Chain A
């Protein structure tokens, strides 16, 4: 199949994660991965971001598919169920809002906490970054956002190894959110599709 420029966006996703290790402030760039998919789904009503431009999805495909770091087993059914996907999205967004609140606290005068939190539980001390030249809240947001990106990457890698390369895409909050927006935008068509859906097609 012909390769396009966007098939190489996995390089940017990898560089993003590495840059964050050197200077946490690069974490701000990750906002692109939040805002672009949302904008595309709201304006265009499509999941073009997931389907074409997501470097993270491509990275999992590459590591799990081409490099064979995946067992290539179908994930358990619950992973694709609505309650799990939307439950995980709710949890993820709650933690995201909490991170924004912590950023606000620092903006309001609380002291900066130089740590990256992995899997919402494990605090990794991260004191080697020089953040003195920006406001403390700018640095706090970077720590929080990098924690979100690192956590989702770790979860993605674990599910990539255990199941299929892009199993993360089944419950990725961005994927769930953009599909939800597209479904809301095309409510009638989505309903018709669901209604006409049988266990197997009429042959």
Chain B
């Protein structure tokens, strides 16, 4: 069985400033080799905090199908 959950999705214009990583309550975000932010989809709870603080406005909250057996 599956259901959908909200997760953060990083847009391609991410400037790798790291602001989102400081605000994520689950530490689900990391900056990949100084290039862009990445989200650990298993840890992200979809709270949307990162999307609110991202100064570039590149984080979208999207629905993701997850398996719940």
Q: Does B17 contact A (CB under 8 A)?
A: yes
Bound Cα distance A74, B32 (Å): 23
Contact between A203 and B55 (Cβ–Cβ < 8 Å)? no
Bound Cα distance A189, B16 (Å): 15
Q: Which chain B residue lies CB-closest to A7?
A: B22
Contact between A166 and B55 (Cβ–Cβ < 8 Å)? yes
Least Cβ distance of A57 to chain B in Å?
7
What number of residue pairs across chains A and B have CB atoms under 8 A from each other?
A: 96
Contact between A46 and B33 (Cβ–Cβ < 8 Å)? yes
Bound Cα distance A186, B36 (Å): 12
Bound Cα distance A82, B13 (Å): 8
Question: Which residues of A in the span 12-62 have a Cβ within 8 Å of any Cβ on B?
Answer: 41, 45-48, 50-52, 57, 61
Contact between B13 and A80 (Cβ–Cβ < 8 Å)? yes
A contact residues, total (Cβ < 8 Å): 43
Quick one: CB contact mask for A141-177 with B, threshold 8 Å, 1 for yes? 0000000000000000000000111110110000110
Bound Cα distance A57, B17 (Å): 9
Decide: A47 near B57, CB < 8 A? Known: A178-B34, A203-B62.
no
Q: Which chain A residue lies CB-closest to B41?
A: A201
Q: Does A131 contact B (CB under 8 A)?
A: no
Least Cβ distance of B2 to chain A in Å?
10
Taking A57-B17, A200-B62 as known contacts, 4 extra A-B pairs with beta carbons closer than 8 A to each other, sorted by chain A number, are A75-B55, A80-B57, A182-B35, A201-B64
Which residues of B come within 8 Å of A, CB atoms? 4, 7, 9, 12-13, 15-19, 21-22, 31-36, 53-58, 60, 62-65
**18 A-B interface contacts by CB (under 8 A):** A1-B22, A46-B31, A47-B34, A50-B16, A51-B17, A57-B17, A74-B57, A164-B55, A169-B15, A170-B55, A175-B15, A175-B16, A179-B15, A181-B34, A182-B34, A193-B35, A197-B12, A203-B62
The 4 closest A-B pairs by CB, nearest first: A182-B34, A51-B18, A74-B57, A47-B34
